[in-house]
Structure 1
Amino acid sequence: MNQEDDTAATRRDTGDTESSRASRGWWDRNADAYQREHGGFLGDDRFVWGPEGLDEEEAGLLGSAEDLKGRDVLEIGAGAAQCSRWLAGRGARPVALDLSHRQLQHALRIGSGAAVVRLVQADATALPFADGSFDLACSAYGAIPFVADPVRVMREVRRVLRPGGRWVFSVTHPIRWAFPDEPGPEGLSVAASYFDRTPYVEQDEQGRAVYVEHHRTLGDRVRDVVAAGFRLVDLVEPEWPAWNSQEWGGWSPLRGNLIPGTAIFVCVRD
């Protein structure tokens, strides 16, 4: 959760259109600062699943190195396309999709002279691709936490995947919504109901949403996957590694050693 100086945080209902508009505006305004702050950790061509630092090179959630060669891969909520460049470097044919024009400008800046990655600006709820266009789809904290109807996104992902295609996505671990978004000791005491699905909204003085995140319980996420027509084959909760001393928002070594911060869903389209 993020808060700009001239906004007020609240919990209230918000739909697809307002959520999409808020996300596009927020990321266009904050892409520069985000890349300055986190670019070193993310790297230019590294595939990191979350603030813990779990690397796809190690995790292999999309398959082995041989599995990736020659595969058509869609990255949703790609940001500056670091994950897609990692995929391209292993012989895959990635497409990096993001809602934010400014994030994709950073992808162009970083990707100059690197492995070729196709960039597409579009909303994840309406993917501009033909049925069965991809072998794999992935998203590292992209799109899913910010949409009002995640099943709609996942059905779109299923539509563009070929039979047997894998869909792997990471989100903030749902249990985190019960705790304050603080990296220190104050972030270790339950402060809200885990079962309150009311979205977190930052809004301007006119009451317009400028940032939105949607909470789903762990069970909700599983049901969303199944409702979209996928089979869940793994749920990964990365442990905080000893080498990672970095704080990232509410993620920190202190909290990461006690409660999970990221949930990664590994799904297959039958």
Structure 2
Amino acid sequence: MNRIPPPLPLGSDGYPAAGGVARRPAGDEESVRANRRWWDAAAPAYLAEHGADLGDADFLWCPEGLREADAHLLGEVAGRRVLEIGCGSAPCARWLRAAGADVLAMDLSAGMLDRAARLNRSTGIDVPLLQADAGRLPLAGGVLDVVCSAFGGLPFVADVEGALREVARVLRPGGRFVASVNHPMRWPFPDSPDPEDLRVVSSYFDRTPYVETDGAGRTVYVEHHRTVGDWVRAVVAAGLVLADLIEPEWTPGRTQDWGQWSPARGALVPGTLILSCTTPA
């Protein structure tokens, strides 16, 4: 019999409290299991902190403030079949639905999807919700026009090449895939918004995952680092065509800090990398 793990203890900020931090290998199953629990527990605190910025039906690509309404990275979405990977509370999916897309919102976390369902009801924009792993998309091949992911899951996936192959599989010929991820340049620096902390504390080339554990030593959070070259090679190996690499600059007038991201730091170094891809026609 599989025992249900106990709820993760929360810190004073409402997020899961890490009992320990390590840099060590972490495979796909461990990453999926840990990150599902972490986001289930963190959903209330995360949305309390960032929900106003994310909106209920808005498409924010990144902490720098780039929005799909201005960027048009997905092209015309009306009438298109769209999958959002790592939808969280699904504001992007609701924005897409309001723009006329036939959209499915997917996330690993039941806690996040519960919040998405509540917002579906309160907004009156009812998007279908699916709990699934990005590495195992429960969809037939070639059924989608667009797949998108706004910081939605890819940094937490151990086998990102496999996940991108899944994206390529479910897209039709000439389909589009756009995803924003942590910029690899964030990895060597401290997790601080202060530009005075821009000092290299680890190697950009060290791909060893960042792992948090609870008081009993169980893995509760895993994040995977890849260099820019790693992302490009993963995209190409999946059979996708890389159309553009976008490094958004900080939106003028935006004052919102978001973890390590801030206006002062965003003026100096990139914080987000956006992969814009297509499938061969």
What TM-score comes out, normalization by structure 2 length?
Answer: 0.92
The residue number in structure 2 matching 1:168 is 178
Q: What secondary structure, in the 3-state scheme, does the structure 1 residue paired with 2:179 have? A: strand
1:267 paired to 2:273: no
The residue number in structure 2 matching 1:12 is 24
Q: CA deviation at 1:4?
A: 3.9
Q: 1:90 aligns with which of 99, 105, 108?
A: 99
Q: What secondary structure, in the 3-state scheme, does the structure 1 residue paired with 2:175 have? A: strand
The residue number in structure 2 matching 1:39 is 51
Q: CA deviation at 1:130?
A: 0.8
CA 1:139–1:14: 2 relative to 1, 3 Å: same
Unaligned stretches of 5+ residues in structure 2 = 1-12
Q: CA deviation at 1:71?
A: 0.4
The residue number in structure 1 matching 2:37 is 25
How many percent of aligned residue pairs carry the same amino acid?
57
Instruction: After superposition, give the CA deviation of every residue in 1:160-203 in whole Å (9 maximum; x if it has no partner).
Output: 11110000000000011010111113431111110000001101
Aligned length: 266
The residue number in structure 2 matching 1:62 is 74
In 2, Cα distance between the equivalents of 1:18 and 1:207? Answer: 13
Unaligned stretches of 5+ residues in structure 1 = none
Q: CA deviation at 1:6?
A: 4.2
Instruction: After superposition, give the CA deviation of every residue in 1:123-148 in whole Å (9 maximum; x if it has no partner).
Output: 11111111112100000011110011
8 Å Cα contact 1:77-1:139 kept in structure 2: yes
Q: What secondary structure, in the 3-state scheme, does the structure 2 residue paired with 1:207 have? A: coil
The residue number in structure 1 matching 2:189 is 179
1:53 paired to 2:49: no
Q: CA deviation at 1:225?
A: 0.3
Q: CA deviation at 1:205?
A: 2.8
Q: CA deviation at 1:243?
A: 1.5
The residue number in structure 2 matching 1:233 is 243
In 2, Cα distance between the equivalents of 1:268 and 1:129? Answer: 18
8 Å Cα contact 1:53-1:244 kept in structure 2: yes
The residue number in structure 2 matching 1:153 is 163
In 2, Cα distance between the equivalents of 1:166 and 1:238? Answer: 19
In 2, Cα distance between the equivalents of 1:182 and 1:30? Answer: 20
Q: Which amino acid in the other structure matches residue 201 of structure 1?
A: V
What TM-score comes out, normalization by structure 1 length?
Answer: 0.96
In 1, Cα distance between the equivalents of 2:267 and 2:18? Answer: 34
The residue number in structure 2 matching 1:105 is 114
8 Å Cα contact 2:16-2:42 kept in structure 1: no
Q: 2:89 aligns with which of 61, 72, 80?
A: 80
In 1, Cα distance between the equivalents of 2:199 and 2:82? Answer: 40
Q: What secondary structure, in the 3-state scheme, does the structure 2 residue paired with 1:264 have? A: strand
In 2, Cα distance between the equivalents of 1:29 and 1:59? Answer: 32
The residue number in structure 1 matching 2:5 is none
1:192 paired to 2:211: no
Q: What secondary structure, in the 3-state scheme, does the structure 1 residue paired with 2:187 have? A: helix
Q: What secondary structure, in the 3-state scheme, does the structure 2 residue paired with 1:9 have? A: strand
In 2, Cα distance between the equivalents of 1:129 and 1:139? Answer: 16
The residue number in structure 2 matching 1:214 is 224
In 2, Cα distance between the equivalents of 1:42 and 1:101? Answer: 19
In 2, Cα distance between the equivalents of 1:178 and 1:209? Answer: 22
Instruction: After superposition, give the CA deviation of every residue in 1:56-90 in whole Å (9 maximum; x if it has no partner).
Output: 00000000xxx211100000000011000000011
Q: Provide the aligned C-alpha RMSD in A.
A: 1.3
